[in-house]
Chains A and B, each alone.
Chain A
Amino acid sequence: MGKDAIQILKERAEAAAHVEDQVAIATVPLSLFLRGKQHYGLRLGEVEGAGRLRQLSHVPGAPPWMVGAVQHRGSIITLMDLAPFWGVELKGLADLPTFVVVGDGRSQIGILVEELVGVHEVDAAIQPYRGDERVGISEVAHWDEQPVLVLSAARLLQDGRLKSG
């Protein structure tokens, strides 16, 4: 192989690497949902499923955040409402029609949402979250010039209320 060819290949390789770096740094894909007129984002690896809420079974003696349970792919999944779980009031729909199942590889839980927005590339310049304490939220991203609260399923599932005790 001649020197020119090697040079060309090298330049191509550098260019390709540069483009990848730019993409990786520029955006991050998040699964977005809407709750209380606020966008939330989940890293794709933590999303284990989603569904329309057609049949909800209320759990006797459950705390307010444990809205009910559904069968999802053969397993019983708890459906939680983030508002009472965080102890805050969120505006928006009272009857949440959709759920997204998140997991950390060991356990999983369903989160009731108003709307699944879909997977979108968000601004990768993610900032630390500095608002009221909300379990699982530690970062803020931006999509379509709106703030997106990044919810970590791993941190959420570490909460003592979600363990067998």
Chain B
Amino acid sequence: MDEILRQVLTLFGEEFKEHSLAMAQALIQADRSDSPEERKSLMAEIYRRAHSVKGTSGTLGLFDLEDLAHAVETALSGFRSGERHLVPGLAQKVLDGLDQAQRLLESVAAGADVSDPVLRATAAELLKLAAAPEQVEPQDLRPMTPSAVLTLPAHPVPHLATPDPAAGQATHAPADPPARSEDATARKGPQQVVSLRVTADQLNNLERHPDELREVRTALEQRAEDARRIFWTLQGALSRAQRHIEPELAAAIRDQVLQLQRNVSGAASELSFRVTELDRELRLLRMDPVETLTDPLTKAVFKHAESLNKKVRLETFGAKVALDRRMLQLLKDPFVHLVRNAVDHGIETPSERARRGKREEGVIRIDVEQRGNAVQVSFTDDGEGIDVQAVRQKAIHDGLLTAEAAAVMSEEQITELIFQPGFSTSSKVSRTSGRGVGLDVVKENVQKAGGRVSISSRRGQGSRFVIEVPLTLATAQALLFESSGFALAVSLSSVVKARFVDNVEAARGSLEVEGQLLPIHAMSDLISIPPSHARPTGYSVVVLRSAERLVAIRVDRLLGEREVVVRPLPPEMLRLRHLSAATPLGDGRLAFILSTRALVEALNANTSFAGLVEVARKHKVVVADDSITTRSLHRQVLEAAGYQVETAADGEEALRLLRTKGADLLVSDIHMPRMDGLTLTRKVRDEPALGSLPVVLVSSLDTDQDKQRATDAGASAYLTKGAYQRGELLKLVQSLLPS
């Protein structure tokens, strides 16, 4: 193959990946959406990209791919208005086609033939499916529910290796003309980009230069300052010597020195700009956001869940954190395996979930977080969790453990056995799970990356795999601010709100956020820095969230949001628990990135309830009260003692919270709108899943009859607001939730 054509094909492969990913995400979202407007917009996006692929692939002689893109356009043309849901199986077929096209492009770039009968067959299938909606009666269309998309009935898959004779005709059938045929992207085609092979060491060496150039810039700024001083000294001297020197000469000397000072100053500014650009370019050379790994998983989860007739939703948080590409390469397989494993073995079928009182749609959640000198990625599912007994028996059966050894091992130790090579408790074998291959590879790859993987699981409630890899170089979105002269930052993902508080609000010393009244803490109360100077007009407040707790912290000045390079701290600085990392500012200074978790813990430690924190941390309490003040008060008291707290403004909301999120204890007011505390208690007692929940009713009603009514409704304890004290509530909660 012509070398230039090969390069262009390689390039188109990259471009296609981008189109394919965006189309897949839009398709899944459209299939899931109940909003005609949203569906219309997503369809337009898919259509635009398909058209772009069609144009480029035709230009490159990839006619089978051109046919596929054309078939996608045709197949989706009936849904472009957004009025109708996609017909069952259509999304799956488009995704199959995109995957097949990706494989074709890879093999073509490697020198294989450009024709692909499988792709042609997929295109033909798509056209058949496209015709289907016209024959479907309205009552046969899927119900308009958000989750319906994931319960597509299994359709017979045609023998894809045999091209459908109709395919050729169909691809030349008149198509609905693309709505945006004038779209610039469709005409643009691939750009000429040449890839070079560069070693990591060469990049490492390059990265030193910006720091050194900054030093040069600082020196230049110093020289500019020197020149300015010389100018004023000279100015004075020339004034004193004006009788002895010609005015023209004096003016010429002044001008030259002034020009010198300006030139040096200008050079320093120019250098500053160039260094910032160099920094950015260097970062782009070796960094990619974690979302480059997580985004394609949406499609993988969708397809895999559908093939198993399961409903699964993948949620990703914090994946904008960027990592070294070498690290991402090592993490690619573990990521894929963990989500597929969760779909295969974690999430139950919809009927099983319904039987267990769970929502039919399972959730896999990926959280990416930079913590200290590491990046942590957790994969949490709300599936059935790991059957520790089964793992124990299998380990004994396989000879990994003796029965005696297994008997004394903790559940955590037994669970860790699933990372052993060849270990699987599954009797079924799927394409990716059940053969005992995978979790050992997850562990091996993570270890190669210098990291570790751990697992925690609760039977019936789900599993959580946590991968932690060391931070070599990373970027993050951060909020920067100043406090007592220190440049500080926090990860933007933990920032709920940041704003200026005027004197009126400042006088109250508290801020209402998300229905809670938060006391405003000074930064100097949390970390050992001098107190800030008071400002006459007010101050800025940053509200942070950590482990479901909100804290409001007063700072001197907000500097704004930025994407920052995260530099790991040396070991001696890691002793300062409130610090997580540092980031260089453009002027050579460093801003220190604070650990939100440590700040919140510092706050807890300052309360008189610190002793209860460790014991109480795992318990969750729902507080129901129609008064925001009372809710906030309860929340503060309980959170300070380490409980997780969810709040509700009335009984209905509380009941919904209890049903969907569960809890270990309910604290409720009696008089509330929509559903009062007594009704709430009775309903709780009537529900099998909640029947044994401890319920504390708190009320200003203090008669024996009131207490009797509470007891009759099923309350575990009754506390009067008149005699209310923080300690009383805590003691009561602690007695009902023993460690």
**Chain A interface residues (CB < 8 Å from chain B):** 51, 54-55, 57-62, 66, 69-78, 107-109, 161-165
Q: Are A164 and B486 in contact (CB under 8 A)?
A: no
The reply on B244 being an interface residue by CB < 8 A is no
Minimal beta-carbon separation of B571 from chain A (angstroms): 4
Q: Name the residue in A59, A75, A108, A163 with the highest tally of chain B Cβ atoms < 10 Å from its Cβ.
A: A59
Minimal beta-carbon separation of B653 from chain A (angstroms): 41
The reply on B528 being an interface residue by CB < 8 A is yes
| Interface majority SS (helix, strand, loop, mixed), chain B | mixed
With a cutoff of 8 Å between Cβ atoms, the chain B residues found around residue A72 in the complex are 211
Q: Are B570 and A108 in contact (CB under 8 A)?
A: yes
Q: Are B590 and A69 in contact (CB under 8 A)?
A: yes
Minimal beta-carbon separation of B147 from chain A (angstroms): 47
The reply on B686 being an interface residue by CB < 8 A is no
Q: Are A55 and B589 in contact (CB under 8 A)?
A: yes
- Considering the complex, give the chain A residue whose CB is closest to the CB of B529: A60
* Complex Cα spacing A73 to B214, Å: 11
The reply on B539 being an interface residue by CB < 8 A is no
Q: Are A74 and B575 in contact (CB under 8 A)?
A: no
Q: Are B572 and A66 in contact (CB under 8 A)?
A: yes
Partner of A161, one of B486, B575, B587, B588: B575
The reply on B385 being an interface residue by CB < 8 A is no
The verdict on A164 contacting B488 (CB below 8 Å), with A59-B592, A61-B527 known, is no
* Complex Cα spacing A77 to B218, Å: 19
Partner of A165, one of B488, B575, B591, B592: B575
Binds A, one of B255-263, B578-586, B727-735: B578-586
- Considering the complex, give the chain A residue whose CB is closest to the CB of B583: A76
* Complex Cα spacing A132 to B319, Å: 53
With a cutoff of 8 Å between Cβ atoms, the chain B residues found around residue A162 in the complex are 571-572
With a cutoff of 8 Å between Cβ atoms, the chain B residues found around residue A57 in the complex are 487, 582, 589-592
* Complex Cα spacing A69 to B486, Å: 12
* Complex Cα spacing A164 to B574, Å: 5
Minimal beta-carbon separation of A110 from chain B (angstroms): 10
With a cutoff of 8 Å between Cβ atoms, the chain B residues found around residue A77 in the complex are 570
Partner of B570, one of A55, A58, A60, A78: A78
Q: Name the residue in A51, A73, A108, A109 with the highest tally of chain B Cβ atoms < 10 Å from its Cβ.
A: A73
A55-B588, A163-B571 provided; 10 other pairs, C-beta below 8 A?
A54-B215, A55-B587, A57-B590, A59-B579, A60-B592, A71-B214, A74-B208, A109-B572, A161-B572, A162-B571
With a cutoff of 8 Å between Cβ atoms, the chain B residues found around residue A109 in the complex are 570, 572
Q: Name the residue in A71, A75, A78, A108 with the highest tally of chain B Cβ atoms < 10 Å from its Cβ.
A: A71
Partner of A58, one of B485, B574, B587: B485
The reply on B51 being an interface residue by CB < 8 A is no
6 A-B pairs closest in CB distance: A57-B590, A164-B571, A55-B588, A61-B528, A164-B574, A61-B527
With a cutoff of 8 Å between Cβ atoms, the chain A residues found around residue B736 in the complex are none
Q: Are A61 and B576 in contact (CB under 8 A)?
A: yes
The reply on B567 being an interface residue by CB < 8 A is yes
* Complex Cα spacing A161 to B574, Å: 10
Minimal beta-carbon separation of A136 from chain B (angstroms): 14
Q: Are A74 and B211 in contact (CB under 8 A)?
A: yes
Q: Are B572 and A73 in contact (CB under 8 A)?
A: no
- What are 16 residue pairs bridging A and B, where the CB atoms are less than 8 Å apart in the complex? A57-B487, A59-B579, A61-B528, A61-B578, A62-B573, A69-B573, A71-B567, A71-B590, A74-B204, A76-B582, A76-B590, A78-B570, A107-B571, A163-B571, A164-B572, A165-B575
- Considering the complex, give the chain B residue whose CB is closest to the CB of A106: B571
- Considering the complex, give the chain A residue whose CB is closest to the CB of B372: A164
- Considering the complex, give the chain A residue whose CB is closest to the CB of B212: A73
